[in-house]
């Protein structure tokens, strides 16, 4: 099984999203998968300009010369693609959205009805199964409502399956080095490793593990207090 992660955090290797991704991929490799973790911010990805060359003039090939052609090939060659993104204004990051827009060469202009009776563009390329990994700064899991719907829609439009979702509210502490958080972060990381192994072996995350993954890493009140202290200290440093 080949798993490719497209990581949309501008913080790339140092991101909270990447902490989640790396632990998940560790588990996936234990399960026997081959993995690749790609940081979109290190790639040249221009916005789609809606010229429709990829549908009309050079079917399947975008007119823009950048890294997207290579990334699309990696996408098609994967069994599972993971969209990894921090939550930005309740949505994916800008670079992730550019990446997503630029996947339209995988389709044709012609409409077809899907099994639910809704129109979509006919897909001409081999589309892998998909998964989401995301973290946000607010503590509640409810902030991922938009992403939950978005990735269901994307799977439907692309005629593929959304096999797993890992959303982490209160995720801004994942890169924290504080010894006070060492144990809860280690516990959460272990759950992610298990999830990676489970997805490769069983094609999904078990209900029990999903429930564990959704639990707060630390109590909400402690997280909110920590955020307040962090931002007050940061402000003081700047205004000093």
Ligand X SMILES: Cc1cc2nc3c(=O)[nH]c(=O)nc-3n(C[C@H](O)[C@H](O)[C@H](O)COP(=O)(O)O)c2cc1C
Does residue 17 touch ligand X according to CB under 6 A? yes
Distance CA 153, CA 21 (A): 23
171 contacts 136 by C-beta, under 8 angstroms: yes
Does residue 89 touch ligand X according to CB under 6 A? yes
Does residue 171 touch ligand X according to CB under 6 A? yes
Among 6, 24, 88, 223, indicate the residue that binds ligand X (CB under 6 A): 88
The number of helix segments (H) and strand segments (E) in the chain equals: 7, 7
Distance CA 134, CA 132 (A): 6
Residue among 141 and 157 whose Cβ is closer to ligand X: 141
Distance CA 192, CA 213 (A): 8
Distance of CA 120 to the CA centre of its chain: 23
Using the contact rule CB under 6 A, the part of the chain among 52-60, 72-80, 84-92, 192-200 near ligand X is 84-92
Pattern of binders to ligand X over 119-148, x per CB under 6 A? Answer: ----------------xxxx----x-----
Q: Give 171's DSSP letter.
A: G
Residue among 11 and 210 whose Cβ is closer to ligand X: 11
The binding site for ligand X (CB under 6 A) comprises 9, 11, 15-17, 86-90, 135-138, 143, 171-172
């Amino acid at each position: 099984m080949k798993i490719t992660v497209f990581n949309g955090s501008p913080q790339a290797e140092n991101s909270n999203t990447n902490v989640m991704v790396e632990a998940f991929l560790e588990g996936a490799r234990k399960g026997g998968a081959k993995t690749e973790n790609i940081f979109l911010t290190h790639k040249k990805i221009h916005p789609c300009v809606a010229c429709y060359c990829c549908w009309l003039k050079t079917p399947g090939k975008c007119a823009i010369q950048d890294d997207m052609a290579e990334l699309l090939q990696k996408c098609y060659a994967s069994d599972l693609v993971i969209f990894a993104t921090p939550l930005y204004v309740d949505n994916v990051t800008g670079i992730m959205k550019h990446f997503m827009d630029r996947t339209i060469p995988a389709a044709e202009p012609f409409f077809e009805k899907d099994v639910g009776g809704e129109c979509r563009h006919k897909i001409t390329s081999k589309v892998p199964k998909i998964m989401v990994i995301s973290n946000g700064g607010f503590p509640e899991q409810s902030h991922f409502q938009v992403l939950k719907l978005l990735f269901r829609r994307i799977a439907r439009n692309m005629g593929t399956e959304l096999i797993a979702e890992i959303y982490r509210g209160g995720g801004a502490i994942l890169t924290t080095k504080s010894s006070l958080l060492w144990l809860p972060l280690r516990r959460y990381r272990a759950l992610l490793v298990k999830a990676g192994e489970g997805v490769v072996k069983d094609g999904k995350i078990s209900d029990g593990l999903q429930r564990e993954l959704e639990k707060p890493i630390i109590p909400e009140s402690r997280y909110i207090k920590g955020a307040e202290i962090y931002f007050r200290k940061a402000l003081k440093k700047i205004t000093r």
